[in-house]
Structure 1
C-alpha cells in the first residue's frame, strides 16, 4: 500500500444497499464487489477488478450514521506519514475532524473536512506482511476499473489549492478557463496529474470531491448507468486527449464520474 505521502491510496463507497451497489457497479464498471464482509462489526466489502486487483471498498451506512446526517457518497483516502500529526496540522489550518484517528488492521485512519468543508480520509497504511514494498494502484491515469481523475469543487478554489499543496505536497500547474464558472486548476502529485480544483457549482450544496472511474467504452457504461437505475448529471463531454467523461449518480444517490474512450 506504500506510495509517496500525499497521494490517493484507497477509495470507498458509503451506501445504504451493498447488494444493489454490487449489481450496479458490476454492470457499469465491471467490478466484482464481494458478497461477504471483510470486517467484523460492520458490513465492509472489497471491490475487485477484472485483473484480480482491488479498486477500493464499500461500507454499509448504519442507522446511526444516517441519523447523524451521513448519505451515500464516494470518499478518497490520502496517504500521510503520521495521521495524528496531519490531523493536528489540518485543524490548526481551519479543517475539522469528522472521525477521530483510529487503528484498523490495514493501518491508522481519520476523516477530516478541509477548510472549505470537503470530507476526505487520511491514512498511514500497513503493507501486507508478505508484500512489504507493495504500492496502491487504485488510481491510474489511463487504466479502466481504477479512479483516473480526482476533482474538487470548492467554495474557495484558490484557498483549496494552497491547502492541498501545503499539507500533501501537491503542485498546481496549468489551468483551463471555464468562463463565468471560473478556472479549472490542474493539480499534480509526485509529478503526475491527479485531478483538478474548480469553483463549486451553484447547484452543489457544499465543497466536495468527485472521482472519475475509468471504463473501456463510455457509451456502454452510460447505457448501463441508466439501465441500472442511475442518473446522468449532465451530458457526455469530450475531454482533452480525445476521451469522454460524464458525471453520474448511482441509484442510492452517490455521485461519481466516468471517463473513457468512445468505441462506437
Structure 2
C-alpha cells in the first residue's frame, strides 16, 4: 500500500438547495466557494479554505429522490486501485453501490458500503502536477475527524483495517455505549468507530470540520436556520464538538480547540 492508501481526502455534500447551502456553510464554517465544471456532470461547487478546495457540493441526484435517503455528507478515501478496492469491499462482506467510473481530470471513484451498510466513497485520484499544500492539523475549514456509527464497532474496525490498512490507536471506554475505537491512518489518529446507539437509525459515517471556536459557530448555525442536535461537548484531548443539521437536513459536525 502507498502512503496515501486509506487517507480521507475529500468530503462531499449532496443537497437539493445548493444556493442555500452555500449561504449557510460559508457563514458557519468560513469557507469561500468556486465552481468546477466537469463535462457531462452537474455543476460542482468547491468549498475552499485559504484558497484551497477542502470539500465539495453537488445537487441532490434526481434518482435518489423518494428513496428515503436524506441530503448528506459523504467522505472519500484514497486507494491505490479503486477497482481492486471495490472488489475487496465486496469480497469481505461489503457491497459495491456504484461501480468504478472516471471523472475526467479528477480521478476514478466508486461508491461502496461496509458489511453493515455504511456508505463511503473510494477514489484513485488523477496525478497532479501541483498538488495543493497540506493544511496544518486543525486548520479552520479542513476535515478534522471522521466517525463511524457502526452496526458493530469491532466488526467494522476489522473490516476497514483489512480494506484500508487502518490500525488501532487506542480505545476510549464509554460505559454502557461500549468502546470508542480511535483508528490511525499511517500512524496518525484520524477518526473513531463505535457501535451505533439505538437512536441512530442506520450505520453511517459522519464528518467534523474545524472551526476556531464552538460557541460562536453554534450561534451561526442557529442564525442560519440550522439545528444543533448534540453538544457542545468536550471530548478527550480537550477538543470541543457539536453535531447539527443544516437547513436542508444534512447532518454535519464541527470541532474546535476552544469553547
Q: Hey, which of these two has a bigger chunk of strand by percent?
A: 2
TM range (shorter): over 0.9
Distance in structure 1 (CA, Å) of the matches to 2:72 and 2:114: 16
Q: 1:173 to 1:262 in 2, by over 3 A?
A: closer
Deviations 1:89-136 (A, max 9, x none): 1111111111111011211000001111110001000133x32xx267
Paired position in structure 1 for 2:7: 7
Paired position in structure 1 for 2:179: 183
SS of aligned partner of 1:233: strand
Paired position in structure 2 for 1:95: 94
SS of aligned partner of 1:248: strand
Q: Number of matched residues?
A: 256
Deviations 1:49-75 (A, max 9, x none): 1x1111111010132221444421111
* Per-residue deviation, 1:241: 2.8
Paired position in structure 2 for 1:42: 42
* Per-residue deviation, 1:190: 0.8
Paired position in structure 2 for 1:63: 62
SS of aligned partner of 1:174: strand
Structure 2 unpaired stretches of 5+ = none
TM-score by length of 2: 0.93
Structure 1 unpaired stretches of 5+ = none
Distance in structure 1 (CA, Å) of the matches to 2:36 and 2:19: 11
Map 1:111-130 onto structure 2 (within 5 A).
Answer: 111-128=111-128, 130=129
User: RMSD over aligned Cα, in angstroms?
Assistant: 1.7
Paired position in structure 2 for 1:74: 73
Distance in structure 2 (CA, Å) of the matches to 1:69 and 1:19: 22
Paired position in structure 2 for 1:225: 221
Is 1:200 matched up with 2:199? no
Distance in structure 2 (CA, Å) of the matches to 1:124 and 1:85: 11
SS of aligned partner of 2:238: coil
Deviations 1:124-183 (A, max 9, x none): 00133x32xx26747x64211111011100011101000111110110121111111111
1:210 to 206, 209, 212: 206
Paired position in structure 2 for 1:27: 27
SS of aligned partner of 1:236: strand
